[in-house]
Chains A and B, each alone.
Chain A
Amino acid sequence: MENTFLIGLSQQIASHRSMEVIANNLANLSTPAYKRESVAFEQYMMNVAATEAEGGGTVPVSFVLDRGTVRDLSTGRFEQTNGVLDFALSGPGYFVVDTPEGERYTRNGHFQLDNQGRVVTDDGYVVQSDGGAIALQQQDSDIAVGPDGTISIRNQVGASVQLLGKMRIVTFADERTLKKAGRSLFDAAGQPATPATADVRVHQGVIEKGNVEPVVEITKMIDVMRAYQASVEMTKGSEELLKRAIEQLGAVPQV
């Protein structure tokens, strides 16, 4: 009988976790290049806790287990901002930024300049090119970045076009094992970063929005809530059953 409670509990815990993941997706509705997540469940078979089957023998009990959060790697909608330092990547690439914890990777291409004219993220982490930081001079204007990440600027003193190097764009053999580090950054967690091939293209003046679909999330939210409710009802039902069994079987016969 207790198995019913425990199975119900495993589902209730899983529901709580799914709700947290859905809440995080919706909270990040406006976060550029946010990748939505969903929880992957699996059946956890337990032969040890086998319950007695009708007519003898045992039936294994299966619990629900949240095995992992799976990231949807599809590219978000592109939104034109016309910002000179707004970039989006088409294809499975990442920008490289230098943080105090080491190299981190991001697809959020909303960059700014810092007080030394270097291209940095919103948190001031320096965006890496093949020659380190991308530093602009006071006189530089008309920053143009080509599809392959080549940065060219016009220095107004000479009015000539200069090349400032190439943005470092990397790809990973298995993007799913990248760890989210918060602040739109990913941690490679030991996986080697390889320079991106030509199918990854840089778009200037464009920002990749998150790939959260509000309709999907709200539907899932209702789904999770109702599944939770059903599970609680099941627990209640078996509790009632247990109560009645105790009352009726344990009743002292009236003489």
Chain B
Amino acid sequence: MRALSIAATGMMAQQTNVEVIANNLANMNTTAYKSQRAEFQDLLYENIERPGAATADTGSVLPSGIQIGVGVRTAATYRLTSQGNLAQTGNPYDLAINGKGYFHVMMPDSTDAYTRAGAFSLSPDGQIVTEKGFIVVPGIAIPQDALSVTINAVGQVQVLVAGSNLPQTLGQLELARFPNDSGLQAIGDNLFTESPASGAVLTGLPGSPGFGTLQQGYLETSNVNAVQEITDLITAQRAYEMNSKIISAADEMLQISSQMS
């Protein structure tokens, strides 16, 4: 009985849906988290009688035919790349990107990773690093005697050292962009890596055409909409339940047939 396996695909799809929603809700307070959506498609169809097959030798044809679908599949889970809100923290090493782009991070194995979570801090040798201690490219070191650090909208890092009235420029932060942001591969810890789906990286200065600007003392919040997620969760749960009803109905039909004689 195919209805059983068809309903099973429906239940599995809704389970994926609930998992994605659960992950979104769990990451509601994760800095710069981008909420995900599961996307579904109908599976292939079995042509029992092809539409347009001749029904008589007089030339009449089937208007619709019999096509029986075999269920549903999860086509993709994609990230909504919309901007999150900016929350003020007052920490000089907290940076939010207002607009498009990712910070470029150097992983311990010298590979590249990208993040929008700008909750940075200083390493023991004064370099700007992520929460995990990975260097933010190009690896700007803040001198110990710096009185204040300013990172402006276009990514220039300036410090004021004791005994000088003029700010001293230490370096420049760059942003990275991709043809398809949603195609980046998430590797956890708020980090992403380039993938065949994302396309090649393009770097540029913050504020230049197509790139966002930096906001010091702010963090980007997640773009998870709690109300939306909860309503999606209810819908998914009900859809799961209805598919399970099909399974029990199909089961009952089988039971009836087995009691036929």
Residues of chain A whose beta carbon lies under 8 Å from any beta carbon of chain B: 12, 15-17, 19-24, 26-32, 34, 37, 39-40, 66-71, 82-83, 108, 110, 112-117, 122-123, 136, 138-141, 156-157, 159, 176-177, 179-184, 189-190, 214, 217-218, 221-222, 224-225, 228-229, 232, 235-236, 239
On whether the beta carbons of B17 and A68 are closer than 8 Å, the reply is: no
Q: Which residues of A contact B44 (CB under 8 A)?
A: 181-182
Interface contact A15-B253, CB-CB below 8 Å: yes
Bitwise, B239-251 to A at CB < 8 A (1) or not (0) is 1001101100110
Interface band, chain B: 35 or more
Quick check: B209 and A139 within 8 Å, CB to CB?
yes
Contact segment of B103-111, B112-120, B137-145, B192-200? B192-200
Known contacts A30-B236, A82-B82, A189-B51; is-contact A69 B198 (Cβ 8 Å): no
Contact (Cβ within 8 A) B202 A16: no
Q: Are A116 and B199 touching (Cβ within 8 A)?
A: yes
A23-B3, A232-B257 are contacts. A69–B66 as well, Cβ < 8 Å? yes
Chain B residues lying within 8 Å of A12, measured Cβ to Cβ, are 257
B179 touches A68 (CB 8 A): no
Q: Which of B49, B50, B210 has the most CB of A within 10 A?
A: B210
8 extra interchain contacts, Cβ-Cβ under 8 A, other than A112-B182, A224-B249? A23-B10, A24-B6, A27-B71, A29-B14, A30-B38, A31-B42, A32-B40, A113-B182
* Interface membership of B180, Cβ < 8 A: yes
Answer yes or no: B78 CB below 8 A from chain A CBs. Answer: yes
* B253–A71 touching, CB < 8 Å: no
Q: What's the minimum C-beta distance from A23 to chain B, rounded to whole angstroms?
A: 4
B87 in the interface (beta carbon within 8 A): no
Which residues from A are CB-within-8-Å of B49?
Answer: 68
Residues in B neighbouring A37, C-beta threshold 8 A: 67, 69
Pair count A-B, CB < 8 A = 217
Top 4 closest pairs, chain A to chain B, by CB: A27-B10, A115-B199, A68-B64, A156-B209
A19 touches B202 (CB 8 A): no
Task: Flag whether B58 is at the interface (Cβ < 8 A).
Answer: no
Known: A12-B257, A24-B71, A225-B252. A176 touches B63 (CB 8 A): yes
Residues of A close to B253: CB separation below 8 A: 15-16, 19, 225, 228-229
Whether A177 contacts B68 in the complex (CB less than 8 A), given A23-B2, A23-B6, A229-B256, comes out as no
CB < 8 Å neighbour of B7 from A16, A27, A83? A27
Structural contact, A29 and B239, CB atoms closer than 8 A:
yes
Given known pairs A19-B3, A156-B209, A232-B260, the reply for A182 and B41 (CB within 8 Å) is yes
Beta-carbon contact of A183 and B41 below 8 Å: yes
CA distance A214 to B64 in the complex (A): 23
- Given that A28-B10, A156-B210, A232-B256 are contacting pairs, would A114 and B197 also be in contact in the complex, using a CB cutoff of 8 Å? yes
Determine the distance from Cα of A3 to Cα of B69 in the docked complex, in whole angstroms: 31
Interface string of B1-18 (1 = CB under 8 A from A): 111101101100110010
Complex CA distance for A40 and B66, rounded to whole angstroms: 9
Q: Are B75 and A221 touching (Cβ within 8 A)?
A: no
CB of B197, distance to nearest CB on chain A (Å): 6
Chain B: minimal CB distance from A20 (Å): 5
B199: chain A residues at CB < 8 Å are: 114-117
